[in-house]
């Protein structure tokens, strides 16, 4: 087919481009099937209060249990889910699953923990978004004040007025919002004071080099000060080493998340973490 017009236009690049398209179309139909077959799972990563050495909540992180390729990370499929719009049903599934889990743990006596769920732009912009969240809360019977929704700066700033409206609507019933990957997006921060969020999450990239790079320390310090001045909680992401934790403690950052405490783990392992922490009422 590529040899149309009798000319030899069939090139290596065309070949690999066609292959890429085929792979993409195939992955997209697999994604569709994955929704029907319920091939997605949530992993949970502990969020810690490092001043009290206490587990305070979990972030739900999606995985795709692919029948042939095995367990896939979001980087392998979320972009395509977003591009194709399939993130709407997939994201809804993740929200519902996370809320069911929160309810289950609450019924076991862990009533004080929070559950954070990531949102993509398409989900947040969807006209049914608020309604969907309300329905999931109603259906699962969770305490809405234990639910935290994570959005990035780019989602928040793409129509700031609309963002504020949506967040306020959900704030009314107690749902909180976090600003994920903070510090990687926009340098103008004046919007922060208008955004009705509760937390900022310092992006992992600052922690990656902070022990060698004093500039990163200053940036982290500045983010922490800014957040506290605006009455926001700060969570540091990507805490891998004890030295990271010690630095955060020196900088007065109380909340942390990272491999030092736990990688994202399946439900059963998360329950082990809950059981070994001292949270039961």
Encoding tokens for residue 93?
């599934």
Tell whether residue 150 is a contact of Mg ion (CB under 5 A): yes
- The residue among 118 and 120 lying less far from Mg ion, judged by its C-beta, is 118
Tell whether residue 245 is a contact of Mg ion (CB under 5 A): no
Which position among 30, 126, 148, 181 is part of the footprint of ligand C2E (CB under 6 A)?
A: 181
CB of 250 to ligand C2E, least distance (A): 19
CB of 148 to Mg ion, least distance (A): 10
Q: How many residues bind Mg ion (CB under 5 A)?
A: 5
Which position among 47, 118, 123, 163 is part of the footprint of Mg ion (CB under 5 A)?
A: 118
> Footprint of Mg ion on residues 158-217 (CB under 5 A)?
180-181
181 — alpha (psi -120 to 50), left (phi > 0) or beta?
Answer: left
Using CB atoms within 10 Å of the CB of residue 234, give its burial: 0 to 12 exposed, 13 to 18 middle, 19+ buried.
Answer: buried
> Footprint of ligand C2E on residues 15-74 (CB under 6 A)?
45, 61-62, 73-74
Give the x/- contact pattern for ligand C2E in 209-228, rule: CB under 6 A.
--------------------
What is the spatial distance between Cα 77 and Cα 27, in angstroms, rounded to a whole number?
8
What stretches of 187-261 show up as alpha helix (H) in DSSP?
Answer: 204-209, 214-229, 242-250
Strands (E) in the chain, as ranges, are 40-49, 54-66, 70-72, 114-118, 147-152, 176-182, 199-202, 233-237, 255-257
Answer for the pair 9, 16: CB distance below 8 angstroms, yes or no.
Answer: no
Name which of 247, 180, 234 is nearest 207 in CA terms. Answer: 247
CB of 14 to ligand C2E, least distance (A): 32
Which position among 259, 266, 272, 280 is part of the footprint of ligand C2E (CB under 6 A)?
A: 259
Q: Residue written as tokens 């009705």? A: 196
What is the spatial distance between Cα 38 and Cα 114, in angstroms, rounded to a whole number?
25
C-alpha to C-alpha distances, 107 to 104, 134, 281, nearest whole angstrom = 5, 20, 11
CB of 55 to Mg ion, least distance (A): 17
CB of 107 to ligand C2E, least distance (A): 23
Tell whether residue 163 is a contact of ligand C2E (CB under 6 A): no
- The residue among 126 and 150 lying less far from ligand C2E, judged by its C-beta, is 150
Q: List contacts with ligand C2E (CB under 6 A).
A: 45, 61-62, 73-75, 78, 91, 94, 118-120, 150, 180-181, 204, 237-240, 257-259, 264
Q: Which residues bind Mg ion (CB under 5 A)?
A: 118, 150, 180-181, 237
């Amino acid at each position: 087919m590529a040899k149309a017009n009798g000319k030899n236009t069939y090139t290596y690049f065309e070949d690999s481009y066609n292959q890429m398209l085929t792979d993409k179309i195939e992955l997209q139909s697999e994604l569709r099937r994955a929704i029907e077959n319920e091939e997605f799972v949530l992993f949970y990563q502990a969020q810690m209060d490092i001043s009290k050495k206490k587990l305070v909540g979990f972030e739900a992180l999606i995985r795709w249990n692919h029948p042939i390729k095995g367990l896939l990370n979001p980087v392998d499929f979320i972009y395509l889910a977003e591009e194709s719009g399939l993130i709407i049903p997939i994201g809804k599934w993740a929200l519902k699953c996370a809320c069911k889990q929160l309810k289950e743990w609450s019924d076991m006596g862990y009533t004080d923990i929070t559950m954070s769920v990531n949102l993509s732009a398409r989900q947040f912009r969807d006209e049914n978004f608020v309604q969907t969240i309300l329905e999931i809360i109603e259906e699962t019977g969770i305490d809405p004040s234990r639910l935290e929704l994570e959005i990035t700066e780019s989602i928040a700033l793409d129509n700031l007025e609309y963002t504020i409206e949506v967040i306020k609507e959900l704030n009314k019933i107690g749902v909180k919002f976090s600003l994920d990957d903070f510090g990687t997006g926009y340098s103008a921060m004046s919007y922060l004071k208008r955004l009705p969020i509760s937390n900022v999450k310092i992006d992992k990239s600052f922690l990656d080099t902070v022990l060698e790079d004093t500039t990163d320390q200053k940036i982290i310090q500045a983010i922490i000060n800014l957040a506290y001045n605006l009455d926001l909680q700060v969570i540091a992401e990507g805490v891998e080493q004890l030295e990271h934790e010690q630095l955060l403690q020196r900088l007065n950052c109380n909340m942390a998340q990272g491999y030092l405490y736990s990688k994202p783990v399946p439900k059963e392992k998360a329950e082990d973490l809950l059981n070994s922490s001292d949270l039961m009422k």
